[in-house]
C-alpha cells in the first residue's frame, strides 16, 4: 500500500479542524480580556498547514510520511488538550480567569513578545552552556582521577561525598560573595550542580568495570595510560552518560534559581518577573519556551549518547 500512512493523518486533521471550529464559532466568554488578534486560531492554522505540508511531502518522501504517521496520533492528543483548555478558559471561564488565561492571550505572547523571549532564551543558554561545560569537564576529570588513582580516591572522594549532595543553590550566600559578577556566580552554581552527578557516576562506572578487561589490556602490552584511555573510559561511558543526564536535569533546576540572583535577562528570570506582574499569559509562554528548550537539549544529549554508545545492545531510549 503506497500511502497507507495517510489514514493516520486523518485523525489529527479532524482534531485540528474541530479545534478551529470551536475556536471560531463558539462565542467567547466576556470575562477574559480580549486578545488583539485570534492568536490561537493563527496557531491552529499554522499546525494545519504544517500537517498538510508533511502529508504531501510524505507522498514523495516516504520516511518523512511514516515518521509523521507514527507521531500524528500523539499530536492529535496534544491538540485536543489545547482545545479542551480553550473551552475551559476562553469559552466558558470555568477556571480562575487570572491564573488560567485564554490560549489567545498565551499564544499572543509569542507573536508580540518573541524577540524579547528569544533574548531571554539566549541569555539563559549562555549561562547554562558556560556552567554545564565547566561542570562536565570538572566532573569528568574528578571522576576519572577518583576512579583510577588510589591517592586521589583517598583524599578527594570523601569531599565529593560530603559536599556533593548539598543542593547547588544552597551555596548561594557564599558564592555571591566569592564571585566578581552575577553571571560567573550563576555559571558556577550550574557547574556545581552538573559536577556532582557526573563525578559520582564516572567514578562508579570505572569501579564497576570487569577486572578482566584490564587484564586483557595488560596481556596485550598496553601501558597504564593507554588502558585508561582506550579501556577504562569507554567502558565507563554508559554510567557517565547517566551522570550527565542527571547533571543536566539538575542544571535546569539551578538555572531557574540562579537567575533570581539579579540576572538582567533569562527565561527563568522572565517567568519569575512576569509572575510578579501577574502577567500569567507570559508566564505560560515562558514555561513553554523553557520546556521546549530543555526537551531539545536532552534530546540532543541522548542523540550524542546513542552515537557514542552504538556498541551497546539495547540502550535505554529517551
Partner 1 sequence: MVGGIAISHLGKRFKNPQGEDITALSDISLNIRPGSFVSLIGPSGCGKSTLLRIIAGLEHAEEGEITLDGAPIAGPGCDRGFMFQSHMLFKWMTIYDNVAFGLRARGLYREQAGRVDEMLGIVGLKGFEKHYPHQLSGGMCQRASLARALVGHPKVLLLDEPLGALDAFTRMNIQDEIARIWKEQSMTMVMVTHDVDEAIYMSDSIVVMTPRPGRIKQILDLSDLPRPHARSGDDFLRCRAKVLRILDYGGKIQKPEYAI
Cα distance between residue 87 and residue 31, in whole Å:
13
Region of residue 23 (phi > 0: left; psi between -120 and 50: alpha; otherwise: beta)? alpha
The one segment of 84-92, 114-122, 169-177, 307-315 that binds partner 1 by CB under 8 A: 307-315
Count of CB atoms situated within 10 Å of the CB of 114: 12
Cα distance between residue 302 and residue 125, in whole Å:
18
Q: For partner 1, give the closer residue by CB, 291 or 312.
A: 312
**What is the nearest approach in angstroms of partner 1 to the Cβ of residue 235?**
7
Cα distance between residue 95 and residue 101, in whole Å:
9
Give residue for cell 567514578: 203
Cα distance between residue 9 and residue 277, in whole Å:
41
Number of residues that bind partner 1 (CB under 8 A): 24
- Residue 205 in contact with residue 236, Cβ under 8 Å? yes
**Sole binder of partner 1 in the list 1, 25, 30, 311 (CB under 8 A):** 311
Does position 310 bind partner 1 by CB under 8 A? yes
Q: For partner 1, give the closer residue by CB, 156 or 235.
A: 235
Q: For partner 1, give the closer residue by CB, 60 or 219.
A: 219
**What is the nearest approach in angstroms of partner 1 to the Cβ of residue 310?**
7
**What is the nearest approach in angstroms of partner 1 to the Cβ of residue 175?**
38
Q: For partner 1, give the closer residue by CB, 151 or 313.
A: 313
- Residue 225 in contact with residue 145, Cβ under 8 Å? no
Q: What cell was used for 160?
A: 565529593
Judging by beta carbons within 10 Å of its beta carbon (0-12, 13-18, 19+), is residue 155 exposed, middle or buried? exposed
Structure letter (DSSP) for residue 230: I
**What is the nearest approach in angstroms of partner 1 to the Cβ of residue 296?**
27
Does position 25 bind partner 1 by CB under 8 A? no
Using CB under 8 A as the binding rule, the residues of this chain from 197 to 236 that contact partner 1 are 210, 212-213, 215-223, 226-227, 230-231, 234-235
Q: For partner 1, give the closer residue by CB, 45 or 237.
A: 237
Does position 307 bind partner 1 by CB under 8 A? no
Per CB under 8 A, residues contacting partner 1 are 210, 212-213, 215-223, 226-227, 230-231, 234-235, 237, 309-313
Amino acid at each position: 500500500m503506497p500511502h497507507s500512512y495517510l489514514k493516520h493523518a486523518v485523525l489529527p486533521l479532524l482534531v485540528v479542524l474541530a479545534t478551529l471550529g470551536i475556536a471560531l464559532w463558539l462565542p467567547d466568554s466576556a470575562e477574559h480580556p480580549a486578545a488583539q488578534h485570534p492568536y490561537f486560531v493563527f496557531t491552529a492554522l499554522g499546525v494545519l498547514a504544517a500537517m498538510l505540508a508533511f502529508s504531501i511531502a510524505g507522498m514523495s518522501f516516504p520516511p518523512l510520511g511514516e515518521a509523521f504517521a507514527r507521531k500524528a496520533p500523539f499530536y492529535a492528543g496534544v491538540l485536543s488538550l489545547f482545545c479542551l483548555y480553550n473551552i475551559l478558559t476562553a469559552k466558558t471561564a470555568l477556571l480562575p480567569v487570572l491564573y488560567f488565561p485564554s490560549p489567545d492571550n498565551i499564544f499572543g505572547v509569542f507573536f508580540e513578545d518573541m524577540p524579547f523571549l528569544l533574548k531571554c532564551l539566549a541569555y539563559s543558554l549562555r549561562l547554562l552552556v558556560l556552567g554545564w561545560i565547566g561542570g562536565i569537564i570538572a566532573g569528568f576529570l574528578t571522576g576519572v582521577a577518583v576512579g583510577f588513582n588510589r591517592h586521589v580516591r583517598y583524599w578527594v572522594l570523601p569531599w565529593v561525598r560530603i559536599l556533593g549532595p548539598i543542593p547547588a543553590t544552597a551555596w548561594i550566600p557564599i558564592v555571591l560573595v566569592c564571585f566578581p559578577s552575577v553571571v560567573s556566580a550563576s555559571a558556577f552554581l550550574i557547574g556545581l550542580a552538573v559536577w556532582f552527578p557526573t563525578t559520582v557516576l564516572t567514578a562508579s562506572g570505572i569501579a564497576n568495570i570487569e577486572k578482566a578487561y584490564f587484564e586483557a589490556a595488560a596481556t596485550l602490552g598496553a601501558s597504564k595510560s593507554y588502558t585508561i584511555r582506550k579501556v577504562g573510559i569507554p567502558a565507563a561511558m554508559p554510567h557517565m552518560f547517566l551522570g550527565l543526564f542527571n547533571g543536566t536535569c539538575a542544571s535546569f533546576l539551578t538555572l531557574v534559581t540562579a537567575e533570581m540572583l539579579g540576572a538582567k535577562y533569562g527565561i527563568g528570570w522572565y517567568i519569575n518577573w512576569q509572575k510578579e506582574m501577574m502577567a500569567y499569559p507570559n508566564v505560560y509562554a515562558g514555561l513553554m519556551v523553557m520546556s521546549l528548550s530543555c526537551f531539545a537539549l536532552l534530546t540532543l544529549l541522548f542523540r550524542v549518547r546513542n552515537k557514542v554508545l552504538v556498541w551497546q545492545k539495547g540502550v535505554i531510549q529517551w
